[in-house]
Amino acid sequence: MPGRFSAARWERAYRRVVRTAFGRVPFYRDQWAAAGRALDEPEATPSAALAGQLHRLCPFALPFDASQEPSLWIGDGRELRDVLALTGAPRRTPVLEVRPAVLDRRTLTPAGPRYGVLLAPDARVVDEDRRHALNAAAHELASRAGRAIVVGERSALDAILPELDGVQVHTVERMTVALAVRDARLGDAPGARPGDVQDARRGDVQDARRGDVQDARRGDVQDARRGDVQDARRGDARGVRAVVVHDPHLGYFAGVHPACGRIHLLWRRFHARPAGRAVAVTALRRRRPVLVGVVPDGAEALDTLITAGCPEHGTPILSTH
């Protein structure tokens, strides 16, 4: 995708993926067979319905063989890299991602940054000592650098951050789209300060703008306000100050832009269109698995989810108003 957003080019990229899906991928070919005719648009498919479908989501010429390769749901790290850039996370800082299982990956992408996995508190391990042993490599990575970006759900962050005492931490909260939309609504509530993200579970308001836009990658964050905010609490970065949107099958596909507080789609990698009262997301660069018209986890619970253009940045956002 080009550096500047073009709605026409975005739609053409989406159409190319749709043609590939209907022409080469069993899961989408079967939609034609079920309908008894050629379809112009793929049926919107809830993300949960994709579980166990990898063998049908890969092109005929590139089938998935579970005995020969790891699960394709693991992803390659590029979406996480891009969504962290969108939220203004600091560059060249080790990334620690909370996951349910260990992952043999030393860098987020071949070009970096350094990467480690922190097992979630509820990960299936023999005991707590074993979890700490498996987390030791990630702790060492953060300690050597003296700083780290930590990505995970709020409950996991609350449990894990005390283990990183002495490390300058930039926390990034991972949410479903439903939770992210809810927090965005609360941030727009009367009396809320611009850029604030209210945590309804705890009733507090975290400043989502401080320190989030420095070092944003020009190619990844369009018109990010450079120097918008300095970290006023360096060395005590325990509050959640960035939000990324995640789905178990789509992966990381959106994040809250610190300059405007809106949920921005990673439009270079994903397309989104209205699907009834939800939204259907298509991965534009994935070849295995091919993901077209996927309703993200939690989107069904929203009253209405639409795609629109950000009035400040002109790129696609997810919104309910």
Query: pLDDT digits over 23-73, tens only?
Result: 999 999 999 999 999 999 999 999 999 999 999 999 999 999 999 999 999
Instruction: Pinpoint the alpha helices (H) of the chain.
Output: 7-24, 26-35, 54-57, 78-86, 128-145, 154-160, 177-187
Catalogue the E-assigned strands of 180-298: 196-199, 204-207, 243-247, 251-256, 263-265, 270-275, 278-283, 294-295
Q: Which one, of 177, 203, 183, lies nearest residue 195 by Cα? A: 183
Instruction: Pinpoint the alpha helices (H) of 207-313.
Output: none
Neighbours of 112 (CB within 10 A): 15
The pTM of the full predicted model, rounded to 2 decimals, is 0.83
Instruction: Tell which wins on pLDDT, 83 or 235.
Output: 83
Helix (H, G, I), strand (E, B) or coil at 306: strand
- pLDDT given at position 187: 59
- 150-176: pLDDT as tens digits: 999 999 999 999 999 999 999 999 999
For the chain, what is the mean pLDDT?
83
- pLDDT given at position 157: 95
Q: Which amino acid is at 11?
A: E
Q: Rounded to 10 degrees, what is the CA torsion of 152, 153, 156, 160?
A: 40
- pLDDT given at position 83: 97
- 282-321: pLDDT as tens digits: 999 999 999 999 999 988 777 667 778 899 999 999 987 6
Positive/negative CA dihedral, 99, 102, 104, 107: positive
How sure is the predictor about 1, in pLDDT bands with cuts at 50, 70 and 90?
Answer: low
Over residues 208-227, the mean pLDDT reads 34
